[in-house]
Structure 1
Amino acid sequence: MAGTFKNIRRRVWLTLNTLVVLWMLVGVLCLQVPPSTFWPAGFVAFSLPGALVLNFLFLIYWVLRRSWLLVLPLSAFILGWNYYARLVAINFGKDVPEGAKTLQVMSFNVHVFNAYDKIVKGVPQVSTDMIDWVAQHPADVFCLQEFYSRVNSIEYNNFKRIGERYGRYKFASTSVGDRVKADLGIVIFSKYPIVEGGTIRFDNTHQRSANRAAWADINVNGDTVRVYAVHLQSMSIKAEDIENTYSAIGNEESFKKESRNLARRLRSGFISRAAQVQELLEHVQASPYPAIVCGDFNDIPFSYTYNELAKALQNSHEKAGNGVGATYNGLIPFLRIDNQFYSQGLEAYNFQTHYEMGLSDHFPISATYVLKPKSEE
């Protein structure tokens, strides 16, 4: 009787493990599907971390049982290692080679320095602590999304406070907005000379939209590196949307309404970002120089957007970081939506997510890049 029960239990767990492996397979396949072609694939890919975690738990279970059936989750684990690396990066510290030519890049969505969180008599109040933290960071290059600079203000003229005061070069892709005529958009600051720069305005966005990419060719002691600062289409999900969905649990009609609202916004974002990343990659792949592509991509590592970038470029967190590397500072935990990618001719070291700077809804990320001699490329 005990043996029969044991066999039934084993078959049940084996069946469940098999279903999880199939879930992994379907999720990986959905990463390849453009959301504009079949948008439900985006939601399946979004669920892939759940399958990866469950498969790992099954692996532990079969190991503890000392069963040969561990072959199934172990095979899935080995074959899907690249996707596990997207979920949790594991890298042992390596020193920058002595005498190497390096470039430290910091990327940060500064959330307009919180200019609109507190408004007194129509005048935005800016977070000077965040401005000073950015200005004093030792990075060679800064890629700042949702940048804000007040034109007619000594205190909040951030072109001067972050750039001119420290002798940094800049390329700005901004629009003038709000009643105090502030510059809003993307800015690249550099310790090294900027030779040339430009803006990629995505076809599916308005000319004044913050969703765009700026690029700058930077002369690093005789070698040129092209740096992109990117801000892709937002998820357009606010904290209250999530709170409303949670609070609607138990009320079937209300829950359906809130869930559909979230799903509609996610679907729209999947489709928009998929088109934007193709425009971005076309530009990157035409670059005559090694490229670093960083910014707020508004998509997790298990998305079509990220997958397309990962096909063409290396990810700095995966190659030189550790842990989950969550960059979203909000109600949803573990989201890594800010990234740095890089092309051949470069190697990433010392990737960091700066949790000490928690004044924005994103955490800053930085990495040091070694410029490889052309003979090694």
Structure 2
Amino acid sequence: MRRSFAFKCTLLVVAWLLLAIACVQVPSRVFWPASFAALTLPAALALNLAAVGYWLLRNWRVAALPALVAFLTWPHFQRGLAVHPLHVSPTAAASGQPVRLLSANVRIFNVYPQLRDQDLGSSRKFIQWLAENPADIVCLQEFYNEPATAKTSDGKVFRSVEQIGRQAGREAFVSKTLTNRAGSEFGMAIFSRFPIVKRGTISFDRLTQNHAMFVDLRLPAGDTIRVYNFHLQSMSMDEKDIVDSYSSKEGLKKKGLGLMRRFKRGLVARSVQVDTLVQRFERCRYPMLLCADLNDVPYSYAYDQLADRFQNGWATVGTGVGATYNGRLPFVRIDNQFASPQWLVGDFRVHYEIPYSDHFPTSATYWLSSVKPAAAAKTAN
């Protein structure tokens, strides 16, 4: 009787897992409840693995079912918890051009009064770290710059284009969404030690801080690559409200419904935005590197659309969760890098030692290869 009940539970877990994977692929703008169901995928994956262990001790023949499901859904497991403890960098076998890429949401370098230090210490250190970083390409979201013509009283602290760009030997492309009365610039930026031969901005309906930009770069060997930098729709949810909502029943009743509404609006907007970008990606003939603040977790439609077409840097070579959010919400990875199949992923790192924003920077080394990396393609999710 107990074995029969356990088998029925195993079938339910398998069905739940497959349904959750199907929900991940449903655009939120078409049927938004599917996106909430997709968020249960980590629990279904974990329970399926638990079923494998249970049945290996009880009946190995029955264990074959959840084990097969675990094997087939392993790329989805890797999205949230990468397992590559024995990864060896492919640099020795790569014959192409190495490219060092860094991405960060810099939170406007803490320029607002509620964010800044008394002596602007975090702002100075962050900009200096980015300027001195050996990365060939730097992609920044929520960027802020004060050009020499800006009428501000902070001296040269926030002349970030000058420091991260020209002084560091990089060309700069700033996609500006706002220039205030003092002349200070807000938006996103790409800095490159390789020549920029083309550049462009992609707006979603209207140009806001949530948009995309790209550059075409000429590598020393003569190859041209395209780098995209984008910031999808923000969640528009205060961290304190989220923590309060699950810390008590009163908090859930008071703030839960409002959070759900805002989360839904964000899901719908991001599904439209990522579909807009995917259409662009499919028309590009160059090897691509993508840097993104997705504002979405690995079990979302936005992530799924990218992971189906590109290698995710962390999922391909990392080990662990790879959380990038610097706050009270644990295990949240919303900042990602993706690479088209022409690239080999050498290494990937989350810079937990740089705590100056609510996002930790990420960096990786990619090798452009003339041979399509089949091994990397298998771990592209």
Q: State TM-score, norm by structure 1.
A: 0.90
Alignment match, 1:189: 191
Q: What is residue 39 of structure 1 aligned with on the other side?
A: 32
Q: Residue in 1 aligned with 2:159? A: 157
Q: Structure 2 matches for 1:217-256, cutoff 5 A? A: 217-221=216-220, 222-247=222-247, 249-251=248-250, 255-256=252-253
Read off the aligned partner of 2:291 and give its amino acid letter: C
Which among 259, 269, 272 is matched to residue 272 of structure 1? 269
Percent of aligned pairs with the same residue? Answer: 40
Aligned AA (1:273): R
Find the aligned partners of 1:168 and 1:104 in 2 and give their Cα distance. Answer: 13
1:93 aligned onto 2:93: no
How far the C-alpha of 1:235 sits from its partner, in A, is 1.1
Relative to structure 1, the CA distance from residue 285 to residue 49 in structure 2 (aligned partners, 3 Å threshold; closer, same or farther) is same
Q: Quick one: distance in 1 between partners of 2:340 and 2:47?
A: 33
Deviation, 1:35, is 0.9
Q: Which residue pairs with 1:139 in the alignment?
A: 135
The 2-side partners of 1:13 and 1:255 are apart by 33
Query: What residue identity is the alignment partner of 1:293?
Result: L
Deviation at 1:59, TM superposition (A): 1.6
Distance 1:98 1:281, change over 3 A: closer
For 2:320 and 2:123, the matched residues in 1 are separated by 29
Alignment match of 1:173 (pick from 172, 175, 178): 175
Code of the residue aligned with 2:228 in structure 1: it is Y
Cα 1:27–1:375 change in 2 (3 A) is: closer
Structure 1, 318-327 or 194-203: larger mean CA deviation: 318-327
Aligned pairs for 1:98-113 (under 5 A) are 100-113=96-109
Question: 1:335-346, aligned counterparts within 5 Å?
Answer: 335-346=332-343
**Residues 102/359 of structure 1: CA separation in 2 closer, same or farther (3 Å cut):** same
**Structure 1 CA distance for aligned equivalents of residues 232 and 280 of structure 2:** 15
Q: Kindly tell me: are residues 376 and 326 of structure 1, through their superposed partners in 2, closer, same or farther at Cα, counting changes over 3 Å? A: closer
The Cα shift of 1:159 comes to 0.5
Residue of 278, 281, 288 corresponding to 2:278: 281
> Which amino acid is the alignment partner of residue 219 of structure 1?
R
Deviation at 1:296, TM superposition (A): 0.3
Q: CA deviation at 1:119?
A: 6.5
Matched-pair contact (CA < 8 Å) for 1:298–1:338: yes
Secondary structure in structure 2 of the residue aligned to 1:331: coil
Q: 1:116, 1:125 within 8 Å by CA — same for their partners in 2?
A: no
* Alignment partners' CA distance in 1, 2:311 and 2:361: 19
Provide the C-alpha distance between the structure 2 equivalents of 1:322 and 1:357, rounded to a whole number of angstroms: 20
TM-score, normalized by length of structure 2? 0.89
Tell me, which stretches of 5 or more residues in structure 2 are unaligned? 375-381
SS at match of 1:118: coil
- 2:110 and 2:281 map into 1 onto residues whose CA distance is 31
57-66 or 264-273: which moved more? 57-66
SS of equivalent to 1:299: coil
Deviation, structure 1 residue 64: 3.3
Question: Which residue matches 1:22?
Answer: 15
Task: Indicate the residue corresponding to 1:295 in structure 2.
Answer: 292
Following the alignment from structure 1 to structure 2, what is the Cα–Cα distance between the partners of residues 119 and 237?
Answer: 17
Rounded to whole Å, the distance in 1 between the matches of 2:16 and 2:115 is 48
Q: Is the CA contact 1:118–1:124 (under 8 Å) kept in the aligned structure 2?
A: no
- One-letter amino acid matched to 1:337: I
Aligned with 2:356: secondary structure?
coil
**Could you tell me whether the CA contact under 8 Å between 2:96 and 2:370 is conserved in 1?**
no
Alignment-mate amino acid for residue 5 of structure 2: V
Q: Which of 200, 203, 228 is the matching residue for 2:202? A: 200
Give unmatched runs, 5+ long, in structure 1. 1-7
8 Å CA contact retained: 2:122, 2:356: no
Name 1:211's counterpart in structure 2: 210
Preserved CA contact (<8 Å) 1:114 1:125: no
**Is contact 1:52-1:84 (8 Å) kept?**
yes
Offset of residue 126 of structure 1: 6.0
CA offset at residue 100 of structure 1?
3.1
Q: How many residues align?
A: 364
**3-state SS of the aligned residue for 1:347?**
strand
SS at match of 2:308: helix
Displacement of 1:98 after TM fit? 5.9
2:98–2:365 Cα contact (<8 Å) kept: yes
| Matches of 2:90 and 2:98, distance apart in 1 | 12
Q: Do the aligned partners of residues 344 and 259 (structure 1) sit closer, same or farther apart at CA in structure 2, a change above 3 Å counting?
A: same
Partner of 1:3: none
- Residues 324 and 359, structure 2, Cα contact 8 Å, conserved in 1: yes
Aligned to 1:65: 58
Q: Secondary structure at the match of 1:312?
A: coil
Residue 357 (1) aligns with residue 357 (2): no
Shift of 1:125: 8.0
Work out the CA distance in 2 between the residues paired with 1:15 and 1:212: 47
CA distance in 2, matches of 1:345, 1:99: 12
Q: Take 1:78 and 1:344, find their aligned partners in 2: how far apart are those partners?
A: 22
- Give yes or no for contact 2:101–2:364 (8 Å, CA) kept in 1: yes
